[in-house]
Amino acid sequence: MSFQYIREMPGVKEILDRMPLPEDLKKVKKERDSEIISVFKRESDKFLVIIGPCSADDEDPVCEYVSKLAKLQDEVKERLVLIPRIYTNKPRTTGEGYKGMAHQPKPSEAPNMVSGLKAIRKMHIRAMKESHLTAADEMLYPGNYPYLADILSYVAIGARSVENQLHRLTISGLDVPSGMKNPTSGDLEVMLNSVQAAQLPHVFVYNGWEVKTTGNPLTHCILRGAVNHYGYNIPNYHYEDLKRLAEAYKKRNLLFPAIIVDTNHANSNKRYFEQPRIAKEVMRSRKHSKTLRNKVKGLMIESYLVEGSQKIAENVYGKSITDPCLGWEESERLVMELAEYV
């Protein structure tokens, strides 16, 4: 056979029994979920900022970053809800390169997905314990979600997964806000089809079970820019782009229509230092239009302790080993500026 069976993955119950979420953190999770959901349901005028490393590759600097974010949250709590990005899976366009802590708990060592699964749950729990902030993660592998379901307050579906049937159906069973990114082509209808599918109830096979879901009304769109057939990046964060998506939403009977703007990736042409300019342009667009104030609910920003990126062998503490990120000082300044726009 072409498959080599290396090791059997532990069941969800086994992992949760071994690494339970403490009772006090369950209360934190419940309160945070309520605060974030209220933004999508238009019960709160606060603005979401989903911010953190491109990929969470090392527990210590990630938890240090999230603790810094918690102090910043206290300063902007009347206007912003900060959601740390603790992204433990990294999709790769060509399949090559570091695939995240779920694959490699230590980037310099060989993949071990059993150890990786335990490492990401441990990191998420530690980050929540030290900060009382609950995090966002990307659902690259739908079957892994139950291992983090009691921890995450936000889930994102990436540009390369958004057309996948299992991703859409799995999101329909979640009870936390879930963002669908536009595909790399930028096709808004593909993204909206995914949102619509995830808001509907479904019956399907999931992790060895026939399951039934109720639909997730908190599923929404994330604009991350596009790539044309010549390979050039095309941004979709400008005022006209936001209005176009708002109009496209009107043609569908979708609950709680919302837009999150990713300030990096194709929107920044992978120039991480453009993120503050892009973020502030989005905020100015919201001020100019009542429609956009109602629909643009947040931003995604890639940020870490040290700006830029590095090769794995360089081993600089708190610096991205995947896409380059804003450094902490610039990130802190940007968050404070964003609060002034709300």
The SS3 of residue 56 is coil
The SS3 of residue 162 is coil
Distance CA 7, CA 10 (A): 9
Q: What tokens does 173 get? A: 């069973």
Return the CATH architecture of domain 12-341: Alpha-Beta Barrel (3.20)
Q: Is the dihedral of CA 103, 106, 108, 111 positive or negative?
A: negative
CA-closest candidate to residue 258, choices 290, 294, 299, 216: 294
CA-closest candidate to residue 299, choices 179, 152, 159: 179
How large is the average pLDDT for residues 122-141? 97
Contact at 8 Å (CB) between 87 and 54? yes
CA-based angle 52:54:59, to the nearest 5?
A: 70
Distance CA 288, CA 305 (A): 33
pLDDT > 90 fraction of the chain, expressed in percent and rounded = 93
Token pair 């820019």: residue: 225
CA-based angle 114:143:298, to the nearest 5?
A: 110
pLDDT in tens, 199-237: 999 999 999 999 999 999 999 999 999 999 898 999 999
Name every residue whose Cβ is closer than 8 Å to that of residue 172 and which is 6 or more positions away in sequence.
Answer: 197, 198, 199, 200, 201, 202, 213, 214, 215, 216, 219
pTM for the full predicted model: 0.96
Give, in order, the Cα–Cα distances in Å from 35 to each of 133, 156, 316, 325. 11, 18, 35, 27
Q: What residue type is 142 in one-letter code?
A: P
pLDDT in tens, 234-266: 999 999 999 999 999 999 989 999 999 999 999
Contact at 8 Å (CB) between 301 and 326? yes
- Measured in residues, the chain has a length of 342
Contact at 8 Å (CB) between 307 and 268? no
pLDDT at 1: 63
Distance CA 161, CA 244 (A): 23
Token pair 């314990």: residue: 129
pLDDT at 2: 86
Token pair 């934190």: residue: 28
pLDDT at 108: 87
Q: What are the φ/ψ torsions at residue 50 (nearest 5 degrees)?
A: -95, 105
Domain locations along the chain: 12-341
How large is the average pLDDT for residues 296-310? 98
Distance CA 226, CA 232 (A): 8
pLDDT > 70 fraction of the chain, expressed in percent and rounded = 100
pLDDT at 95 over 80: no
pLDDT at 94: 78
Contact at 8 Å (CB) between 138 and 159? no
pLDDT in tens, 171-207: 999 999 999 999 999 999 999 999 999 999 999 999 9
Cα of first residue to Cα of last residue in the chain, in angstroms, is 57
